[in-house]
Each structure stands twice: as structure tokens, then as C-alpha cells.
Chain A
Amino acid sequence: MDEATIDRTLTRIAHEILEKHKGTDGLVLVGIRSRGVPLARRLADKIQKIEGAEVPVGILDINLYRDDLTTISDHPILRKTEIPFSVDGAKVVLVDDVLFTGRTIRAAMDGIIDLGRPRQIQLAVLVDRGHRELPIRADYVGKNVSTSLDEMVKVSLREEDGSDSVDLVVKAER
């Protein structure tokens, strides 16, 4: 995917979110660190342009909720969770770049539920690459990409990486 395709995809997802929720009432977006955050912000901008309403955007670091901290030797660097609004009764749309095993999303749901009791949690991802290990599916998918396990989906975003692209790369190449 190139910059224009990513932009068109996000515009479509923004429309889908608004259509499903019939507006922005009670809607909040939560980006999963790190590339889910700029994607959530871009979706909020698009929703603002389409609907003329501001949707709050929060940032979630899922590392404290990982289920593999006891088995890995490299602990990830923690960064702050910043959700400056109440999630009680909110319709939360989690936003991430890639949906893979589903474990990140499980951790994100645990993280959100620790902050309050949302009315609903939905999931928006730019790419769904399959290989789920948990019964989780996305409500809004930018692109479904069939992958093998020795491939990686490399998402670059200008806010984090300087330019926008989605590439399929073989793991050994990295």
C-alpha cells in the first residue's frame, strides 16, 4: 500500500465507523502504541472533516498487559498510557496497524477494561494478516493480506517513520 491507498483506506474506515455508530455520540478512539496512535489521530481528523464533530483520542500502551512477559528476556520499554477521558459507557474503537495473533488486542481490551466499563469495544486495523491464536476479529479492516509465518507486514507511517507505506517482507531480510 502506498500513501494514497492508506489515505483512501482510512477515509473509508472513518465513513464505516460513522455509519455503524450513526454519528459520533459517545464515540472515542484509542490508538495502541505505537503505530495505532497516528492512525487513530488520522481517523479522528477524517471524522471531524466528514461529520464536523471532534472525537476524543487516547493512547494505550499494552506492554503491562502482555501474557508473555514471564517468558521473554527482553522487556519492552514502557511508555505512558494517556486516556484523558472516561471510558465508562463509551463506545471505544481500538486502532492498531496490524492484526496478527490477536494477543495485542486481548491485552488492549484488558487495559481498557481496567480503566472503566465501556459500553462497547470495537477494533479497527489497517491490515489483517491472519494467523489468529485467539478468537478475535476486527470490525473495520483496511486490507486483508494473506501471509505466511515467515513474512512480516511492515507498516511505515510519516509520524513515526517519515513516510507512509505497507510492505510485505520476508523476516530474514530484516
Chain B
Amino acid sequence: MRLKSRHLLGIESLTPEEIVLILDTAESFAEISRREIKKVPTLRGRTVVNLFMEPSTRTRTSFELAEKRLSADSLNFSASSSSLVKGETLIDTARNIEAMAPDFIVMRHQMSGAPHFLARYCRSSIINAGDGSHEHPTQALLDAYTIRQKKKAIAGLKVAIIGDILHSRVVRSNIFLLRKLGAEVILAGPPTLMPLEVARLGVKVTHSMAEALDGADVIMMLRIQMERQGKGYFPSVREYYNLFGLTEERVALAKRDAIIMHPGPINRGVEIESKVADGAYSVILDQVTNGVAVRMAVLYLLAGETGDADSAEERPGH
């Protein structure tokens, strides 16, 4: 079993087997994060450039931690400190970074497709850390890892994804992944935040919170992107909370053992009530922990194609 591509640009191009390989590999890495010395020498001598053209704390630190735990050398570029603010084009930035011969470029960009563009010009492995409102593959993988950890399997589960579907890159990656692994996905949100084409991805769409939550095994809340709300997608935050906020009463509509997820950062009292965010069924912090293991697995698997080496005799050179 191998990963077919040396890049991770999205979930759409992965096969179910490749997804399962990444999730299984992440389990080995989760064990390392529980050790006293949380570091292995696996990627010693490899260089990773974290190219974050859009603000991100959670994803960048998670990648950085994953890189450090694998002993890779990492270098951070952010939009404010890079030459992009001086008018350099993406291709020139890419060529300059490429000239430093990194092994990986982890890229966050506000434009959909930017990592795909980079992948055509670079010899390094490109990992998409979120491109516009397109995909965020490692987030979907860590969500799937968390669901599998709590629910044992993904096939057959009903997953309700609620909130700002329009601006979310997480939701696209999650739809691709959950559908590939056999889950039923239902989306809920205000009509203004629900892109029309999303129904074509094989999911149910509703504007009723009650319908989405009815019998759900997993409740995945999306962040209301306050920075993108200037265009009047809904009348007020208060009204949004009244219609789509996750409260204890609404959680009761889902299955008794439903888990509650959120990609973070959460807006308390907007998309989720504090009591729910901190409640017993919330796995929001597990998602953060699992993010490091999943990103370590992705880096490991992209560092070379995979193959099954077994006994000592089959290990080359051992």
C-alpha cells in the first residue's frame, strides 16, 4: 500500500485505502505524543518550509510540532513577513523557496488552487494547509481520526455539519472524506451561507437544525467567519445563535452518545454554547491533540512512498 502522489493537495484525489493508511499510520504517531520524550529521529536532515500566506495559529503550530517531533528542520514564512507584501508573485516566491531545496512546503493560501499551482513548479512535496474555501485535507483527516477513535468506525454514521458552509474549506474536505468512508452527511445552515453546488457532492442539505441533528452520531459545528460577515449573510449574531447555535436542548435531538466537534477557534455564544463546548460529549480538544499525530503521519508517508517491510531480513540493510 502506497500513497500515489508525493503531494497532499486535497482529499478529493485520495482513495479510501490511502485515507485509511494515513489514519492507521497516525495511530503509531499518537503513541509518541504520549511519551516523556516526544521526539523520534525519523525526518532528521529533512527541511520543511511552512508557507502561511493567511493567518493561522492552530494549523501552523500543529504542523510545526509534528515537524519537530519528527526531528525535521522547519522554517516559517508568513504573509506579513514575506515578500508577497512587496508585490512578489507566488511563482517567484515559490522559485526562491525552491532554491533553498526544502523537502516539504506546507502551504496555507487565501486563493483556492494555490498549492496545486505550486506543486507544478516545485520538486518539494506540497501539503495543502488550507486553500481559500476549497480544501483543508489535514483538518478532515484529523476529524476522521477523532471520529474513528470515539466511534470505532466511520461507515454508517450520520454526521451533521452545521454553520457557514459557504466559506468553509473544512467542510469540502470532510464531505469528500466522510462519503469515501461510507458515512451519511447532512449539512445545515442559513440559505445565504449554503452554496448551491454542495448538494451535488452527495449530501443532504437542510436549513433546519432539528432535521440535521435528528439521530446524528457526530455533530460538526463550523466557525462563523466573523471577518467575512460584512456582507450581510445573516441579520445579526443573536439571530444566528437563535437559529443555528448548538445548545444543550438541541444536542438532545442527536443520539445519546453523539460527539461534538469544532475545527476551532470557537466563537462561544455564536455557533456553540459554552456549556456544550466544554461538555462531556465535546471532543474539540481531542481534535487538537490528534492533529499533531495526523500531520506526523502525512509527513512520514510523503517522505517516501510506502511499502510493507516485515521481518528483520526484509528490512533493507538491516
Contacts and interface: CB of A to CB of B under 8 A. Distances in A.
Interface of A: 32, 34-36, 61, 63-66, 68-70, 72-82, 96-101, 103-104, 107, 110, 114-116, 133, 152-155
Given A98-B312, A99-B312, A100-B318, 15 more contacts: A35-B310, A35-B312, A64-B40, A66-B315, A70-B303, A75-B303, A75-B305, A75-B307, A78-B28, A78-B29, A100-B313, A103-B317, A103-B318, A114-B40, A152-B313
A107 B317 CA distance: 12
A76 B308 contact: yes
Q: Choose among B2, B37, B41, B310 the residue with the greatest number of A CB atoms under 10 Å from its CB.
A: B41
A90 to B, nearest CB: 15
B318 A64 contact: no
Interface in B289-316: 297, 300-301, 303-313, 315-316
Contacts of B196: none
Contacts of B309: 63, 74, 76-77
Contact of B41 (A61, A80, A110): A110
B28 A61 contact: yes
Q: B interface, how many residues as a size bin? A: 35 or more
B228 interface: no
Contacts of B308: 76-77
B88 interface: no
B35 interface: yes
A64 B41 contact: yes
B266 to A, nearest CB: 32
B304 A72 contact: yes
B27 interface: yes
A34 B312 CA distance: 8
Given A74-B304, A101-B318, A81 B312 contact: no
23 contacts: A34-B310, A64-B40, A66-B315, A68-B316, A70-B303, A73-B305, A74-B306, A75-B301, A75-B303, A77-B1, A77-B307, A78-B25, A81-B28, A82-B31, A98-B312, A101-B317, A104-B312, A104-B315, A104-B318, A110-B41, A115-B36, A115-B37, A153-B313
B275 to A, nearest CB: 36
Contacts of A64: 28, 32, 40-42
B41 A81 contact: no
B45 interface: yes
A120 B36 CA distance: 19
Interface of B: 1-2, 21, 24-25, 27-29, 31-32, 35-37, 39-43, 45-46, 297, 300-301, 303-313, 315-318
A68 B300 CA distance: 13
Chain B interface mostly helix, strand, loop or mixed?
Answer: loop
A76 B21 CA distance: 12
B306 A76 contact: yes
Contacts of B301: 75
A73 to B, nearest CB: 5
Contacts of A34: 310-311
Contact of A32 (B25, B35, B305, B312): B312
B313 A96 contact: no
Contacts of A69: 42-43, 303-304
A98 B306 contact: no
B311 A97 contact: yes
B70 to A, nearest CB: 8
Contacts of A75: 300-301, 303-307
Please name the 3 residue pairs, one residue from A and one from B, whose CB atoms are nearest each other, closest first: A74-B307, A76-B309, A78-B28
A97 B315 CA distance: 12
Contact of A98 (B42, B304, B311): B311
A70 B35 contact: no
Given A34-B311, A78-B25, A104-B318, A65 B306 contact: no
Contacts of A99: 312
A77 B18 CA distance: 12
A78 B70 CA distance: 14
Given A64-B41, A68-B317, A104-B318, A76 B311 contact: no
